[in-house]
Amino acid sequence: MVDAWATPQQVIDTTGVTVTDAQLAQAQATVEVFCNRIYADTARIRPRDVYWLGRAVAFQAAWLVGQFDVNTRLESSQVQQDGVVASLGEHAMVLAPMAARALRRISWMRSRTIHVRSPFEDGGTWGLDPLSDASDDTQTWTPMGGGA
């Protein structure tokens, strides 16, 4: 039995491809490299993320079956043969396309943008420029001191 986020039966159920334990272990190792987590930390990972990690391992294992010598490839962004040119993605030579899609759904692999609240959302002051004519209704009128 291989310590992996997917079992050989889950690979068959997901992809229809039969894999060996060695291929499943290779797929697990590849996914661990790309997701920056190891199988031993599974207890600390959310169930939703474990689901997508399992899918990534299943897709990677099925993809590995059809690949020739994936561990000795050079990183390349463009391949040319017989006048045909193929431009590849950043990790296309070592990571299955569907595994990459599954990894993008993992919580720590997503964007970490911060939403900045507008004055309308936080109830803060809006448009209170004391020199603006538009804010006259919000200010009380007091006569200016001076000669009577």
Q: What is the pLDDT of residues 103-144, one digit of tens each?
A: 999 999 877 777 776 655 655 555 566 677 766 666 677 777
Dist. CA 41–CA 13, nearest whole Å: 25
145 in a structural domain: no
Pairing label, strands 84-87, 78-81: antiparallel
Which domain, by its residues, includes 98? 8-110
pLDDT at 94: 82
pLDDT at 105: 93
- Average pLDDT, stretch 86-95? 69
Residues 6+ apart with CB under 8 A from 121: none
Q: Which of 58, 55, 54, 53 is nearest to 24 (CA)?
A: 58
Strand residue runs (E) in the chain: 78-81, 84-87
Number of domains in the chain: 1
65 in a structural domain: yes
68 in a structural domain: yes
144 in a structural domain: no
61 in a structural domain: yes
64 in a structural domain: yes
pTM for this prediction = 0.66
In single-letter form, the type of residue at position 71 comes to: N
- Average pLDDT, stretch 11-32? 96
42 in a structural domain: yes
- Average pLDDT, stretch 56-82? 81
128 in a structural domain: no
Q: pLDDT confidence of 49, banded at 50, 70, 90?
A: very high
Mean pLDDT, rounded, of the chain: 83
